[in-house]
Structure 1
Amino acid sequence: MCAVCSVRRPADSNSKLLSRGGAALTGGRSLPAACPGLARGHRQRNEKKRRRRKKKNNEAEPALSAVLHVLLRLHPDCPSSWLLSATSSAWHFALRLFGLVLASVAAWYLGYFVAAYVPQNTVSIAALQEIGKKPVLRAPAPKRQKCDLWSPCPPGNFAYRILSGGGKQRRPTICFEDEELINAGNHVAGSGINIAIVNYKTGKFMSANFFEMWAGDHSREMMDFIRKAPEGTLLLMATHDDGSTRLNDDTKKLVEELGSKEIKNIKFRSSWVFIAAKGFKLPDNIQKEKINHSDQTKNRYKGWPAEIQIEGCIPRNLI
């Protein structure tokens, strides 16, 4: 192989390869004669380019020929080469325009399909706005316990909650095993002292009543109601409005025998709650009694103290 065959050739086949130094290297001979292999490569590349141009022209030849024929008839004075160039440019522009129209129609049909067949609640603006937001961890809502206690009672226990009345309108609530034995809606609650009786062995409600201590003397009726409660029962008591004005000493003594330590201290409009067992003893570690006296400087309601409450769990195996 000659020395110049290994020289990198410019991309343009018509550029002059040989300089004076190149001519000296080839001994004054022509490039094809000096390097047959290099000349053969030039011919092959030129042939490939020619074939590609011919293929493109053949693909567009029918349409271009028809358009060129029409233009030649309309403008016989224009050169055919100029008309051919203009026709080719117009043809490419028409193809691009057709592609743009086709893409626009496809996009319109796609949007119509999404609007017509995709459910509205699948994608919403609010849902899209939530994508970029940082997730917020929320604690699960606490499970409701029997009688709305803060924590559940262990297995084998009764749940109870006693809430006194507050002011003139808020009636007391006595709940046992998630059943409200006395509340403002069952028309059992009233002014004075409210009492509910529950069978301890079965946990079932037996009876309830309220005893007015302001408008009349119902102490005797309250004593009879407590004495008629059978052995093995629970008595749950709560005041509303006033439970002391006409409460006599004999009734106080009877309630004190059930285990009350505050009944002797009850005053006008005192809030008082109490749970007692008849015929057996309740555990010492449960809430059994609370009292809140009326104080004009501390009252929650005008003339009445705030409500007071006891709650807890009673074991089922006391008797």
Structure 2
Amino acid sequence: MIYIRRVGPLVLHKRHRDKKKVRFIFMVAALIISISLVLKLLQMDPELTLSNLVERSVEGAASFEQKTNSYKGDGPKGKCGLPKPCPGNDYAFKMYSGATNIIGPRICFDGKMIIEGDKRGNRQGMNIAVFSEKTGELVNTGSFNMWNGKVEDLIEFLKSVENGSLVLIATFDDPATKLNDEARTLIAELGSSYISKLKFRDNWLFVGGKKTITQVTFEQHMKNDRETNKYETWPEMIEMEGCIPRID
């Protein structure tokens, strides 16, 4: 019995050491692979930092979960994931202004996802959805790159909006570099009070209309400021939700 008591623990201890050694090898291999991937990402985007990357990963996961659990239409909550249904038959909306140049913008209207964040680099600038105030029917959508696109395309789109239309706008990355006075004036006529102040990489959400009966306006603006930005050269993502009265 003395022999068994001495050898048993020695054998178990050796096996334990072997398991720890294998586990250590796997951990080192995983660490090397992770570091390689991070270095590649940092090389692809010079403005990206390690802390920035971690925050984006966390927010990306949260965004995916939010996308999965929200915008399911009618249910115990309101349409578009609102905490409660809109009164009567009013239109529900929920919007996001994209985070950095990674997570794209979103516009949900009356339970339907109209504009959804795409992969990196898409939907830069102004993202616009136009609806009929009377029926809530989607009339038109447009995405206009305000960094290296043509502001004339945005102006033509805004001029094509008919009276009695609701207009929802969500920005992504840079919404203002190519904006000129004519474009800003056309958006101001829809009810915006912030459009004259919109600058490079500001985040901005807007709900207004062209000669609508309800004349509702919702607006949020997040200034791009390195001292307060969440993502160094970008402000944090903003969201806005609410109800738009439906006319009889």
- TM score, norm. by length of structure 1: 0.51
The structure that is strand-richer by fraction is: 2
The letter for the 2-side match of 1:228 is: S
Query: Is contact 1:230-1:278 (8 Å) kept?
Result: yes
For 1:149-188, list aligned pairs within 5 A. Answer: 149-184=82-117
Specify every segment of 5 or more residues in structure 2 that has no aligned partner in the other structure, as ranges.
1-74
Percent of counterpart pairs with the same letter?
36
Q: Deviations over 1:215-248 (max 9, x none)?
A: 23x2211111111122211110011000111111
* Paired residue total: 173
For 1:107-126, list aligned pairs within 5 A. Answer: none
**Backbone CA RMSD of aligned residues:** 2.1
Q: Deviations over 1:137-167 (max 9, x none)?
A: xxxxx93321111221111211011211111
What is the CA–CA distance in structure 2 between the aligned matches of 1:278 and 1:253, rounded to whole Å?
A: 13
SS of the residue corresponding to residue 316 of structure 1 reads coil
Q: Deviations over 1:62-115 (max 9, x none)?
A: xxxxxxxxxxxxxxxxxxxxxxxxxxxxxxxxxxxxxxxxxxxxxxxxxxxxxx
1:278 aligns with 2:210: yes
- TM score, norm. by length of structure 2: 0.65
SS of the residue corresponding to residue 223 of structure 1 reads helix
What is the CA–CA distance in structure 2 between the aligned matches of 1:157 and 1:280, rounded to whole Å?
A: 15
SS of the residue corresponding to residue 143 of structure 1 reads coil
Aligned to 2:235: 305
Aligned to 1:268: 200
Query: Is contact 1:167-1:302 (8 Å) kept?
Result: no
What is the CA–CA distance in structure 1 between the aligned matches of 2:245 and 2:159, rounded to whole Å?
A: 24
Aligned to 2:71: none
The letter for the 2-side match of 1:265 is: K
SS of the residue corresponding to residue 282 of structure 1 reads coil
Query: Is contact 2:91-2:110 (8 Å) kept?
Result: yes
Aligned to 2:18: none
Per the TM alignment, residue 281 of structure 1 is displaced from its structure 2 partner at its CA by: 4.5
Query: Is contact 2:166-2:210 (8 Å) kept?
Result: yes
Specify every segment of 5 or more residues in structure 1 that has no aligned partner in the other structure, as ranges.
1-141
The correspondence for 1:292, drawn from 215, 222, 225, is 222
